[in-house]
């Protein structure tokens, strides 16, 4: 082989190796870190795999926020206007978390049906609705628009 | 009246851009000198139009002209003046105006400092930049006119998003855009070279300082953004792998690769086709960044309004830019291929590795950022790719990069010997190993992450210093040797040293940070990381455009009061959004961070978030080092000589004709 060929072969080999390593890393990371999004209806129907980390989104039901014992743990109901689940979170809620607001929570489902969140996201614009949440919210039957 | 003037200036700018994009280019192709000479006055005219438009919008903000929809949506009479001015780029339309204005500034800068370029080359470069201007002006005029009126005008504006009322956020977009748009210069040089079919060392030398300056601005912009997120978002993080952050980080990675591959092209005439491709990608990713941030396809802080027409326009624009450049590349690249030999142990080889790693890293981030969009578009399901993915990919790919950086800078071009490098690298290796093993013991527990981080940071810092020492050690007149060392070398060393600082910051912050959400009533306290946080109470205060609950906490350590912190929970009067204003006691070795949550119960207790963040300032300091290094490198004497020599040549030519 001429030196030029050798060099080119080396370069190509190096690139294949680099890209291979990257793809392997990416696939490995992908498999363990993809997070699926479910609506409360899907959660109630038992769609999320047991014990899996996933995200759930919906509207915080008005009047459902409770702080048992005035401590750091908060419980609230999350709805897509068809089904409702209970979410529990310990810590400080984001600024824009409030009743009637669309939020996304990340966490796991406990066997008793309570969703234990380790992260709650509410977005920074009061008119903003996370696209996933906007997609699943259905208007309740019989709700009229206008006054 | 003034807003109409601004709108008119935009239309005029479009007309000028059309001329700038076509006439000089045709002139360059056909060799008509008078047509080529139109490029520079056109660049000036374009900048003038943009300045008028930008000034008109700023005027509308300063004078609270709420008949302009954009002003009504993003300002308020009670907003402090400095935020009225920064509100000009606080949302979608205005930030596009900023983009186009910055682009016109860069165009004029190129026409000023590029006087010495061959006329045909300069004309082509300015033409390509004109084409980019057309894209942005059309986008603004067709879908996002910042001067749109609203009738009847509201009495009061809806105020600027409270999160953006922060000095860091006022400066972040202009810096970021200086970087994004700056890559358009590198892009224009690359396209001009492809059209011309000639790509030599002089070309690389011309486009290099521009690329470095753009890279410097982007570095500053990202650093500021990270600092802002830490200050304003109230949860003490400095990087979230948010799609929008990724959008600015991808052009930075590819831009960093470009800065290095340009060095090889200038010094050795190698990697030519690759350099051109990188220039195209760096700019395309900047456009993609704008697209991702502004079209509303992403769930993010920055996604304001969703308008399909806008998304479609940018997508089409992106298609034209990427598709057109790649077509041109496929057609012309064989003409600029280089045939230069180098050994596996040489600076070229290490820079090749650097490029490979940077580009692969950028590609994996791109994959993680776009994957949820693709999956959603295919209707397979809704997923998100979180920080664990990015960390799992980013860290292993960048570790070898940091490992190679100091050594690569020491290697000679073309061919070197491993024994020589080992002689230089011996003592840094030994010291780093020792530091990595011992220094983490100074903290409360030893972890291998901290050991790896400290060891690597020492290795990067020491090999970089050794590279500097190599310049004078063993010379008969060391000081003269140091003075002779080009400024670009100091710039490079400083930027590489910044990596050491940055790595130290990340390793120690991620390993030793302490965080606690607690309930604190007045008089109660909590001990975190050896610091006692005492809650004194929470009281209402009034701001110019907000009401706030302000907490007072004392921090004590070893019987001494370290700091008094005043975190706030603000409610802005117009938007009614609550906002957490964290209080931070900043230090070189640690930050203490307190944020108020919400009132609990009736005894005046609040939920409070406490953070102890060691070495977090080092992360941003590393970014600053890199930026200053970039500035030093870009102002190296050889580039300035280039300008001066050309100016002299021009003077002589003028005298000869007179």
Tell me the per-residue pLDDT of B578-618, one tens digit each, with 9 for 90 and over: 888 899 999 999 999 999 988 887 788 999 999 999 999 99
| Confidence bin at B447 (pLDDT 50/70/90) | very high
CB contact under 8 A, B392 and A33: yes
Closest residue of chain A to B364, computed from CA coordinates: A26
Mean of pLDDT values over B178-185: 94
Query: In sequence order, which residues have a C-beta less than 8 Å from that of residue B654 and are 6 or more positions away?
Result: none
Q: Residues of B with CB below 8 A from A36's CB?
A: 381-383
Assess whether A67 and A126 both reside in one domain.
Answer: yes
Q: Is B53 helix (H, G, I), strand (E, B) or coil?
A: helix
Domain containing A69: what range? 37-136
Is the CB of residue B92 less than 8 Å from the CB of residue B5?
no
CB contact under 8 A, A34 and B381: no
Structure-token pair, residue A147:
């006054």
Structure-token pair, residue B557:
């350590």
A26 min Cα distance to partner chain B (Å): 6
Whether residue A44 is contained in a domain is answered as: yes
Assess whether A48 and A26 both reside in one domain.
Answer: no
Number of domains in chain A: 2
Closest residue of chain A to B357, computed from CA coordinates: A18
Give phi and psi for B124, each to the nearest 5.
Answer: -65, -45
Q: Residues of A with CB below 8 A from B578's CB?
A: 95-96
Whether residue A97 is contained in a domain is answered as: yes
Q: Residues of B with CB below 8 A from A101's CB?
A: none
Assess whether A84 and A118 both reside in one domain.
Answer: yes
**Choice among B162-171, B185-194, B647-656 with the minimum mean pLDDT:** B647-656
Rounded distance between C-alpha atoms, residue B179 and residue B14, angstroms: 23
| Confidence bin at B503 (pLDDT 50/70/90) | very high
Assess whether A4 and A45 both reside in one domain.
Answer: no
Mean of pLDDT values over B188-201: 88
What is the reported pLDDT for A125? 46
Rounded distance between C-alpha atoms, residue B112 and residue B47, angstroms: 13
Rounded distance between C-alpha atoms, residue B145 and residue B139, angstroms: 9
Assess whether A28 and A63 both reside in one domain.
Answer: no
The pLDDT tens digits of the residues spanning B316-354 come to 888 999 999 999 999 988 877 777 788 888 899 999 989
* Mutation to test the B interface, candidates A95, A123, A130, A136, most B Cβ within 10 Å: A95
Whether residue A145 is contained in a domain is answered as: no
CA B355 vs. chain centroid, Å, equals 19
The pLDDT tens digits of the residues spanning B506-532 come to 999 999 999 999 999 999 999 998 999
Whether residue A18 is contained in a domain is answered as: yes
Assess whether A41 and A27 both reside in one domain.
Answer: no
Whether residue A144 is contained in a domain is answered as: no
Assess whether A22 and A45 both reside in one domain.
Answer: no
Whether residue A95 is contained in a domain is answered as: yes
Assess whether A28 and A6 both reside in one domain.
Answer: yes
What is the reported pLDDT for B649? 61
Rounded distance between C-alpha atoms, residue B143 and residue B313, angstroms: 8
Whether residue A142 is contained in a domain is answered as: no
Assess whether A18 and A50 both reside in one domain.
Answer: no
Q: Which of B166, B244, B243, B255 shows the shortest CA–CA distance to B217?
A: B255
Q: Which of B306-310, B339-343, B640-644 has the highest mean pLDDT?
A: B339-343
- CATH classification at residue A60: 2.40.50.140
| Residue B360 pLDDT greater than 50, yes or no | yes
Is the CB of residue B457 less than 8 Å from the CB of residue B501?
yes
Provide the number of CB pairs (under 8 Å) joining chain A to chain B: 111
Q: Is B374 an interface residue toward A (CB < 8 Å)?
A: no
Average pLDDT, chain B: 89
Q: Which segments of chain A have a pLDDT < 50?
A: 125-128, 139-147
Q: Is A28 an interface residue toward B (CB < 8 Å)?
A: yes
| Confidence bin at B475 (pLDDT 50/70/90) | confident
Its pTM stands at: 0.90
What is the reported pLDDT for A136? 65
Rounded distance between C-alpha atoms, residue B107 and residue B49, angstroms: 13
Assess whether A44 and A116 both reside in one domain.
Answer: yes
Q: Is A6 an interface residue toward B (CB < 8 Å)?
A: no
Assess whether A44 and A25 both reside in one domain.
Answer: no
Assess whether A58 and A28 both reside in one domain.
Answer: no
Q: From residue B243, how far is each of A33, B222, B321, B390 by CA, in Å?
A: 16, 13, 22, 11
| Residue B132 pLDDT greater than 50, yes or no | yes
What is the reported pLDDT for A129? 56
**Chain B residues 293-332 with CB within 8 Å of chain A:** 299, 301, 303-304
Whether residue A146 is contained in a domain is answered as: no
SS3 track for B374-441: HHHHHCCCCEEECHHHHHHHHHHHHHHHHHHHHHHHHCCCCCCCHHHHHHHHHHHHHHHHHHHHHHHH
- The DSSP code sequence of B111-178 is HHHTTTS-HHHHHHHHHHHHHHHHHHHHHHHHH--TT-B-SSPPSS-----GGG-SHHHHHHHHHHHH
Closest residue of chain B to A90, computed from CA coordinates: B517
């Amino acid at each position: 082989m001429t030196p030029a060929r050798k060099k080119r072969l080396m370069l190509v080999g190096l690139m294949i190796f680099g890209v291979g390593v990257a793809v392997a890393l990416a696939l490995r990371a992908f498999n363990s870190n993809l997070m699926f999004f479910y609506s409360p209806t899907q959660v109630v129907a038992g769609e999320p795999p047991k014990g899996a980390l996933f995200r759930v989104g919906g509207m915080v039901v008005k009047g459902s926020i409770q702080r048992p014992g005035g401590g750091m743990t908060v419980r609230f109901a999350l709805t897509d206007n068809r089904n409702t689940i209970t979410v529990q979170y310990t810590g400080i809620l984001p600024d824009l978390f409030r009743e009637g607001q669309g939020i996304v929570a990340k966490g796991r489902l406990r066997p008793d049906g309570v969703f234990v969140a380790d992260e709650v996201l509410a977005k920074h614009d009061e008119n903003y609705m996370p696209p996933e949440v906007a997609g699943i919210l259905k208007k309740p039957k019989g709700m009229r628009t206008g006054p | 009246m003034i807003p109409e003037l601004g709108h008119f200036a935009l239309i005029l700018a479009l007309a000028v851009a059309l001329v700038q994009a076509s006439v000089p280019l045709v002139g360059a192709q056909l060799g008509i000198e008078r047509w080529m000479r139109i490029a520079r006055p056109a660049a000036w005219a374009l900048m003038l139009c943009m300045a008028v438009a930008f000034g008109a919008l700023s005027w509308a903000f300063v004078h609270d002209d709420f008949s302009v929809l954009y002003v009504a949506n993003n300002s308020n009479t009670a907003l402090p003046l400095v935020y009225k001015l920064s509100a000009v780029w606080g949302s979608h339309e205005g930030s596009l105006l900023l983009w186009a204005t910055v682009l016109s500034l860069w165009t004029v800068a190129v026409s000023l400092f590029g006087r010495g370029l061959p006329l045909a080359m300069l004309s082509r470069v300015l033409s390509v930049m004109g084409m980019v201007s057309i894209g942005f002006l059309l986008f603004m005029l067709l879908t996002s006119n910042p001067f749109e009126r609203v009738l009847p005008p509201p009495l009061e504006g809806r105020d600027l998003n409270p999160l953006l009322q922060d000095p860091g956020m006022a400066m972040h977009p202009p810096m970021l855009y200086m970087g994004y748009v700056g890559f358009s210069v590198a892009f224009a040089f690359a396209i001009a070279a492809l059209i011309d079919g000639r790509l030599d060392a002089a070309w690389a030398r011309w486009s290099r300082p521009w690329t470095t300056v753009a890279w410097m601005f982007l570095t500053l912009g990202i650093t500021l953004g990270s600092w802002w997120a830490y200050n304003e978002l109230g949860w003490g993080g400095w990087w979230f792998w948010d799609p929008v952050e990724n959008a600015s980080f991808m052009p930075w990675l590819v831009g960093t690769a470009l800065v290095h591959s340009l060095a090889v092209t200038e010094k050795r005439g190698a990697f030519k086709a690759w350099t051109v491709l990188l220039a195209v990608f760096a700019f395309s990713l900047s456009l993609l960044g704008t697209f991702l941030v502004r079209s509303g396809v992403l769930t993010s802080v920055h996604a304001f309004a969703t308008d399909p027409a806008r998304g479609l326009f940018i997508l089409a624009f992106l298609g034209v830019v990427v598709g057109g450049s790649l077509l041109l590349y496929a057609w012309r690249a064989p003409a600029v291929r280089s045939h230069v030999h180098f050994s596996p142990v040489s600076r070229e080889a290490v820079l090749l590795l650097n490029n490979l790693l940077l580009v692969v890293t950028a590609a994996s981030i791109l994959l993680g950022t776009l994957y949820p969009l693709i999956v959603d578009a295919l209707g397979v399901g809704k997923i998100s790719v979180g920080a664990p993915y990015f960390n799992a990919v980013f860290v292993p790919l960048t570790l070898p990069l940091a490992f190679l950086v100091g050594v690569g800078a020491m290697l000679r071009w073309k061919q070197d010997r491993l024994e020589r490098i080992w002689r230089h690298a011996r003592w840094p290796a030994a010291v780093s190993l020792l530091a990595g093993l011992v220094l983490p013991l100074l903290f409360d527990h030893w972890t291998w992450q901290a050991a790896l981080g400290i060891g690597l940071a020492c290795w990067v810092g020491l090999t970089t210093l050794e590279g500097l020492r190599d310049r004078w050690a063993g010379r008969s007149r060391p000081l003269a040797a140091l003075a002779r060392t080009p400024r670009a070398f100091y710039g490079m060393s400083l930027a590489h040293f910044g990596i050491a600082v940055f790595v130290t910051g990340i390793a120690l912050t991620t390993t030793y940070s302490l965080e606690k959400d607690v309930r604190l009533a007045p008089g109660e306290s909590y001990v975190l990381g050896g610091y006692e946080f005492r809650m004194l109470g929470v009281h209402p205060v009034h701001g110019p455009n907000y009401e706030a609950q302000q907490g007072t906490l004392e921090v004590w350590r070893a019987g001494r009061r370290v700091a008094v912190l005043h975190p706030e929970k603000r409610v802005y009067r117009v938007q009614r959004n609550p906002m957490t204003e964290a209080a931070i006691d900043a230090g070189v070795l640690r930050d203490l961070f307190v944020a108020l949550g919400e009132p609990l119960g009736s005894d005046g207790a609040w939920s409070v978030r406490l953070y102890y963040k060691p070495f977090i300032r080092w992360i941003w300091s590393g970014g600053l080092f890199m930026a200053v290094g970039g500035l030093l490198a870009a102002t190296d004497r050889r580039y300035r000589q280039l300008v001066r020599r050309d100016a002299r040549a021009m003077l002589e030519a003028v005298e000869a004709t007179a």
